[in-house]
Amino acid sequence: MPVEVKGALELRKALQKFTPDLAKEIRKEIAGLLKPVVSRAKGYVPNNSPIRNWDRSSATARFPEWDAKAAKAGIGYKTTPSRPNNEGFRALARIVNASASGAIYETAGRKHPYGREQAPMAMTYNNQGPTGKMIRSGSKNQSMSNNPGAGDLFIQAMNQYSTIVNAADSVGRGRPSQKMKGRAIFRAWKEDYGKTNAAVVKAIETSRAKFYKEVGYNG
């Protein structure tokens, strides 16, 4: 969940350099605005594993183990600028989930609502030639599961707790992200109806006015 304002990054740098107390004040204000949304998002993370055995560790598993406590704790806010996206935009404030399993719960099915296409089988080879052993071989956009419906079953299990919610129309002022869909963070943002986004933008613009006054700029 990003909040973007034209010229906000330059303003933040100027605040840090010339009025550090004002910079600290705006970060604190933005944090206070984001905390209620963070709290609501944490409430949308299920306490139990959304799918059977996801919360059981495996020595060979490459898939992150479900951890409800970590998924909830991983939801937080950042008031430091993000890295530029492909279009060069940065987010000045955002809500994120640092938990791997929490991020999967948030976004599973966002790109592929019925799961990824099953990867094809391919022969394995060694120095002597074909081994006679077949494995699934494909791209990261394909499923390696031998169950052709595994992805769909996984997503439907997530959807029992919450379906994917599109919060793009709840951004209000500011530039909406292209990935405003999810089950916890974006559901909370959707239900906020853009109020927090508008408040953050207003806080940034108020800090801009205060900064201009502090440095005697009348432009």
Strands 121-126 and 129-136: antiparallel
Contact 188, 40 (CB under 8 A): yes
Rounded-to-integer distance, Cα 192 and Cα 107, Å: 19
Q: Using CA of residue 8, residue 82, residue 34, residue 176, what is the dihedral sign?
A: positive
The pLDDT > 70 percentage for the chain reads: 86
pLDDT at 215: 80
> CB within 8 A of 28, min separation 6: which ones?
none
**pLDDT class of 177 with cuts at 50, 70, 90:** low
pLDDT of 151 over the 60 cut = yes
Q: 86, 66, 91: which is closest to 9 by C-alpha? A: 91
Contact 66, 50 (CB under 8 A): yes
pLDDT at 45: 97
> Average pLDDT in the 143-148 region?
88
> Average pLDDT in the 127-150 region?
90
Rounded-to-integer distance, Cα 91 and Cα 93, Å: 6
